[in-house]
Amino acid sequence: MSDWIDGEVVSNIHWHENLFSLKIAADIGAFRAGQFTSLALEIEGERIARPYSFLSSPGQQPLEFFFYVATDGVLSNALVALKEGDKVLVKKPANGFFTLDEVPQSRDLWMLATGTGVAPYFSILGCDEVWQRFENVVLVQGVRTAMDLRYQDLVEQYQREHPQAFHFQAFVSREDYPGSIRGRIPETIKNQELENHVGLPLSPEHSQIMLCGNPAMVKDCVTLLKDRGFAKNLRRKPGHITTEKYW
């Protein structure tokens, strides 16, 4: 049985005009890193709800979520206006299967995202399990402009804490930005530019790959990875690719 509980906004961080994060105090109980819950507001007498992945890790309070303001998104346009102390409804318990429980053992874990699809990976990176299970943990985030690259303090923290294991690669598609690859993720899976940049080969033998974000990016990556011998993870038949339906 799921239930709506009251959450209280602790802070609303406006990164730029249409990118923001909410920190929300709410006792939603235990969850697994990579899961999501739903947030809701009463708007003109109607409860509008939508699922959002946790960016914060299990056990952390307040909970944290990362949002893009969708042009026609009624809820995201209301959420961006929330202030400290405002109420927001949070669904309890959490839900979803985009967790390490669904990822078979392997040497390397690749976590590929576009935009705010990076959120569940930060939740996973904040837990010991990922560092205990994988020799290499690669976070890849594709964004339109460098302004959309956020949480770089966390990236630097994991680089300091796990200098051998942790790799980060940014893609910025619409401008040149130091250290990033200019373009989109899928084409660099095809031409092997991604693995050359990271310095780690992608192979079904050694790599598990998680994909989250723009549905077209996820679809294109799955197609290209299948061409290279990777298969989707199914409960009855473990493979190498785990995907999240992000929107």
d(CA 2, CA 123): 22
Query: Binding residues for ligand NAP, how many (CB under 6 A)?
Result: 20
Q: Does 116 sit near ligand NAP (CB under 6 A)? A: yes
Show the binding pattern over residues 155-184: x = contacts ligand NAP (CB under 6 A), - = does not. ------------------xx---------x
Sole window of 29-37, 91-99, 136-144, 193-201 interacting with ligand NAP (rule: CB under 6 A): 136-144
Q: Does 216 sit near ligand NAP (CB under 6 A)? A: yes
| Beta-sheet pairing, 108-114 with 207-212 | parallel
Among 185, 194, 210, 211, contact with ligand NAP (rule: CB under 6 A) = 185
The first and second tokens of residue 134, run together, are 């994988």
Q: Does 190 sit near ligand NAP (CB under 6 A)? A: no
Q: Tell me, what amino acid is at 94?
A: A
Cα–Cα distances (Å) from 57 to 61, 114, 178, in that order, read 9, 20, 29
Q: Does 113 sit near ligand NAP (CB under 6 A)? A: no
We find the least distance from the C-beta atom of residue 157 to ligand NAP, in angstroms, to be: 23
Closest C-alpha to 218, from 131, 115, 95, 144: 115
d(CA 109, CA 58): 20
d(CA 45, CA 19): 26
Q: Does 115 sit near ligand NAP (CB under 6 A)? A: yes
Q: Does 34 sit near ligand NAP (CB under 6 A)? A: no
d(CA 72, CA 69): 8
d(CA 108, CA 131): 10
Among 110, 220, 225, 244, contact with ligand NAP (rule: CB under 6 A) = 220
Sole window of 26-34, 103-111, 142-150, 201-209 interacting with ligand NAP (rule: CB under 6 A): 142-150
> How many Å separate Cα 129 from the centre of its chain?
17
| Positions in the binding site for ligand NAP (CB under 6 A) | 68, 70-71, 114-116, 142-144, 148, 173-174, 184-186, 214, 216-217, 220, 247
